[in-house]
Amino acid sequence: MQKITDNPDQQVAVAVAHYWVTRKAQGERQKSKGTADAGLRSAVTGGAQMDEFINLFTKIILDTGIKSKYVYRKKLLELPGFFRPTKEWDLLVIKDDSLVAAVEAKSQVGPSFGNNFNNRTEEAMGTALDLWTAFREGAFKGDTPPFLGYFFMLEECEASKRPVKVKEPHFKVFPEFTGASYMKRYELFCKKLIRERHYTSASFITSDSVNGINGIYKEPSTDLAFSHFAKSLSSHVRVFAE
């Protein structure tokens, strides 16, 4: 039987389509009620856009043979932190009182890419630091490091592809950031999360609001392809499935 990790493209397309259809429906519903938020926040406050991605991660995990009772989603998602009491994740795998995997799934749409980029990056870095420090201090039992996964989908549009100026009043920024668009910045960010071992694996995809409804998406970097992310997650969890 073919596993999702062998060819995940179709499943990712389904999740992308669900994201845009759900987001559109939520925006229209809130608009009809006269409660649409500034900055397109209406699509965020409704939640559920990322549900099909979480479903996909869950299928990949269950394909390893691990029992569903060890997989947590929608509830019981809190893990202890070191710098804060708890952090709620999007998906957890816990077996024999040991943390096997924790996955975070995020997205961003325009038009406010600047402030949201800073918020997203600071959140992801802080979350990783908090978890690994808690792990070092014995919060999760066991000595085997868990799989820490980060998935991000960005709206592809003119604003996210446009070069962005950087301010350098005192020191030069690293050259890769000079003239980089927000799309490129997110790509660099995800790569560096892995390179610096803050996360075990990361996946970064983009999609526009028009074609995305049909499941169309792009992967700006092969290093951050969903197939790599899926195989890394699967291989880690499979060890605990026996």
Q: What is the mean pLDDT of the chain?
A: 91
Q: Are 102 and 91 in contact (CB under 8 A)?
A: yes
Q: Give pTM, 2 decimals.
A: 0.90
pLDDT at 36: 53
pLDDT at 20: 95
- Which residue from 102, 110, 1, 9 is spatially nearest to 56, judged by alpha carbons? 9
pLDDT at 40: 43
CA 1 to chain centre: 28
| Mean pLDDT across 25-47 | 58
Q: State the Rg of the chain over Cα.
A: 18
Q: Are 53 and 15 in contact (CB under 8 A)?
A: yes
- What Å distances lie between residue 231 and 16, 52, 64, 164, 236, CA to CA? 19, 18, 10, 34, 8
Strands (E), the chain: 71-72, 78-80, 86-88, 91-95, 98-108, 147-155, 201-207
Q: Are 229 and 89 in contact (CB under 8 A)?
A: no
pLDDT at 18: 95
- Residue 41 scores a pLDDT above 60: no
Share of the chain above pLDDT 90, in %: 80
- Residue 1 scores a pLDDT above 70: no
113-155 pLDDT, tens digit per residue, is 888 899 999 999 999 999 999 999 999 988 899 999 999 999 9
Binned at pLDDT 50, 70 and 90, residue 35 comes out as low
Question: Hey, which residues does 32 pair with through a beta bridge?
Answer: none
pLDDT at 2: 64
pLDDT at 37: 52
Binned at pLDDT 50, 70 and 90, residue 42 comes out as very low
